[in-house]
């Protein structure tokens, strides 16, 4: 009679994600998680992005059954897509570690549903290329059994961030037109 030996691997046991872990698992929070807990969880996810661990960042996110799964390639593409100002060096934006980002940030809003405060979304501006940017990750959170899970809804430059800059530019154009008498007659 032949005995079967159980093979063991050196993979770490599932547990909290840290940057020293070999792989990430789906992030679960207590159903009673506070806004600060949610923000801390999203910052943990941003740290994975800044470390270039897009595969782990994708594994960290929840995917509803039947929904398209968020992949590492898709997350990386979202960081690159919604920008009109590609960096000159290599044409790619880099997610910067939060501690190294300069400027006014981080901006983070947790919006809970009135009907179910354990569900809602989080808007978190990402640190890119050494500074806090207007690229906002929009993440949804919802209950899943007795825990709360987070999924990535989208990443894009929110209009509210652009509106002030566009309004300033438009004002300059109007004043330039006034100064040069190029306004149409009334």
pLDDT digits 0-9 by tens, 150-171? 999 988 886 544 444 444 444 4
* Predicted local distance difference test score (pLDDT) of residue 164: 45
Is the per-residue pLDDT at 51 higher than 90? yes
* Predicted local distance difference test score (pLDDT) of residue 82: 54
pTM recorded for the entire structure? 0.71
First-to-final CA distance of the chain: 101
Which is more confident, 93 or 35? 35
Q: How would residue 85 be classed by pLDDT, with cut points 50, 70 and 90?
A: low
Q: Which residues contact 168 (CB under 8 A, 6 or more apart)?
A: none
* Predicted local distance difference test score (pLDDT) of residue 87: 62
pLDDT tens across 105-158, in order? Answer: 889 999 999 999 999 999 999 999 899 988 899 999 999 999 999 999 988 886
* Predicted local distance difference test score (pLDDT) of residue 104: 81
Distances (CA, A) of 113 to 14, 36, 110: 31, 16, 10
Among the listed ranges 14-23, 45-54, 151-160, which one has the minimum average pLDDT value? 14-23
* Predicted local distance difference test score (pLDDT) of residue 93: 84
Is the per-residue pLDDT at 79 higher than 80? yes
Among the listed ranges 44-48, 83-87, 118-122, which one has the minimum average pLDDT value? 83-87
* Predicted local distance difference test score (pLDDT) of residue 15: 42
Q: Token digits for 82?
A: 């919604």
């Amino acid at each position: 009679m032949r005995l079967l030996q159980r093979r063991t691997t050196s993979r770490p046991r599932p547990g909290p994600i840290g940057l020293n872990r070999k792989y990430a698992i789906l992030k679960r929070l207590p159903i009673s998680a506070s806004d600060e807990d949610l923000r801390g969880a999203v910052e943990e996810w941003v740290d994975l992005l800044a470390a270039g661990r897009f595969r782990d960042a994708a594994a960290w996110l929840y995917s509803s059954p039947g929904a398209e799964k968020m992949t590492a390639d898709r997350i990386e593409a979202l960081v690159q897509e919604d920008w009109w100002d590609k960096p000159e060096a290599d044409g790619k934006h880099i997610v910067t570690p939060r501690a190294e980002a300069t400027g006014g940030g981080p901006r983070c809003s947790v919006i809970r549903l009135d009907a179910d405060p354990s569900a809602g979304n989080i808007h978190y501006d990402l640190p890119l290329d050494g500074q806090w940017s207007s690229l906002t990750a929009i993440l949804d959170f919802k209950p899943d059994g007795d825990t709360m899970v987070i999924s990535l809804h989208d990443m894009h430059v929110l209009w509210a961030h652009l509106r002030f800059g566009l309004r300033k530019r438009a004002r300059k154009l109007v004043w330039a037109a006034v100064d040069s008498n190029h306004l149409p007659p009334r």
